[in-house]
């Protein structure tokens, strides 16, 4: 019976940690190396930065910045993702604003 109770406790603790990780991310603190813009979505952050226009595009989509980070500003990285030609981090700024 004690072994079963210990196993149940282990499973519940693991499930709680997994839920927290999936909900809140892997939190790590980082410092910006240069000025950077923060966007509302991964798509905006990856493809629509200022000065980045696809060749042959008929319309230009202007991404809305959520915030602008200064050099050496501390941010909390909640999780990150990557694609073929980009790496985007979902962050929370020191002013508690989320963004990519």
Domain extents for the chain?
26-99
Average pLDDT of the chain, as a whole number? 76
Residues in contact with 90: Cβ distance below 8 Å, sequence separation at least 6, in sequence order: 25, 42, 77, 78, 79, 80, 81, 98, 99, 100
The neighbouring-strand residues paired with 31 are 74
pLDDT of 78-87, one tens digit each? 888 777 777 7
Confidence band of 73 (pLDDT split at 50, 70, 90)? confident
Q: State pTM to two decimals.
A: 0.54
pLDDT of residue 37: 84
């Amino acid at each position: 019976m004690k072994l079963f109770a210990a196993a149940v406790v282990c499973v519940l603790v693991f499930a709680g940690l997994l839920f927290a990780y999936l909900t809140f991310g892997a939190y790590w603190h980082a410092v910006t190396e240069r000025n950077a813009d923060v966007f509302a979505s991964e798509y905006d952050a990856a493809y629509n930065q200022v000065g980045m226009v696809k060749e042959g595009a008929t319309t230009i989509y202007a991404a809305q910045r959520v915030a602008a980070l200064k050099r050496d500003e501390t941010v909390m990285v909640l999780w990150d993702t990557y694609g073929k030609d980009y790496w985007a981090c979902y962050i929370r700024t020191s002013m508690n604003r989320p963004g990519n």
